[in-house]
Amino acid sequence: MNLEKVIFGFFIVLAATLNFGFFIGDIDNAVHHDVYELFAAIVVNLIATVLKFGDRTQIGAIHLSTSLVADLQLIAAAVVWGYGTTVAGAPLSADLTAKIVSLSGGALFANVVSVVILIAETIMQRR
């Protein structure tokens, strides 16, 4: 067992689970989607991205690109949230909630791909 591998796997799976936790629930119900969970998802995703830096293999490159996609989608969701509540000044509407959650849904897909690659890589090494 390798501590580095544990940390790597931990962050990738945690990024996916936090993202899933935020995503699950009615798409337009603001009560089902917590802002702290989105924040945690963004932070963990960023850390997972940095952990993937510097790997020159093909699989490393795909790993990095899925993470970058997830970052982009989650940050977009956070920006929409911040813009909708602060600049427009209105409370979180059902319409806005649906936009935010669908963006995080896209990030979730990228995170799932990332987890699948992680598993595939592990299985390849076993063989």
Partner 1 sequence: MIPGTHHGSFFLILRRMRAPLILLILIFAISVLGLTIVPGYDENGNPARMSFFHAFYFISYTATTIGFGEVPNAFSEAQRMWATLCIYMSVVGWAYSIGTLFALFQDKNFQHALKVEQFARAVRRLREPFFLICGYGETGRLLTRALDRMGLRVVAVEVDEVKAGELELHTYYADIPTLVADARYPEVLRLAGLTHPNCRGVMTLTNDDTVNLSVAIAARLLAPTLPALCRSESPESTANMASFGTRHIISPFEKFGEYLALALHAPSAFHLLEWLTGVPGSLVEPHRDPPHGRWLLCGYGNFGRILTRSLRQEGVEVIVIDQGPAPADYEGEWLCGDATGAQALRTAGVETASGIIACVGSDVNNLSIAVTARELKPDLFVILRQNHFANAPLFDAFPSDLRVVSSRIVAHECLAILTTPLLVPFLAQIKQRDEAWSRRLVKRLTDRFGWKVPNIWSVRINAENAPALFRLLMPAGPIVNLGSLLQDPADRARPLECEVLYIMRDDDGTVLLPDSDQEVRVGDQLLLVGTREAQSALALTLENPNTLDYVLTGHDVPGGWVWERLARRRA
Q: Which residues bind partner 1 (CB under 8 A)?
A: 35-36, 39, 43, 46-47, 50-51, 53-54, 56, 78, 81-82, 85-86
Residue 118 C-beta: closest distance to partner 1, Å: 18
Residue 87 C-beta: closest distance to partner 1, Å: 9
Residue 55 C-beta: closest distance to partner 1, Å: 8
Yes or no: say if 16 and 114 are a contact pair by the CB < 8 Å rule: yes
Contacts of 118 (CB under 8 A, 6+ apart): 9, 12, 13, 63
CB nearer partner 1, residue 34 or residue 116: 34
CB nearer partner 1, residue 58 or residue 127: 58
CA dihedral 19→24→27→32, nearest 10 degrees, is -100
The token pair that represents 6 in the structure block: 């544990």
Residue 112 C-beta: closest distance to partner 1, Å: 22
The DSSP letter of residue 83 is I
Q: Which amino acid is residue 126, in one-letter code?
A: R
CB nearer partner 1, residue 83 or residue 116: 83
For residue 31, report the phi and psi dihedrals to the nearest 5 degrees: -65, -30
CB nearer partner 1, residue 24 or residue 43: 43
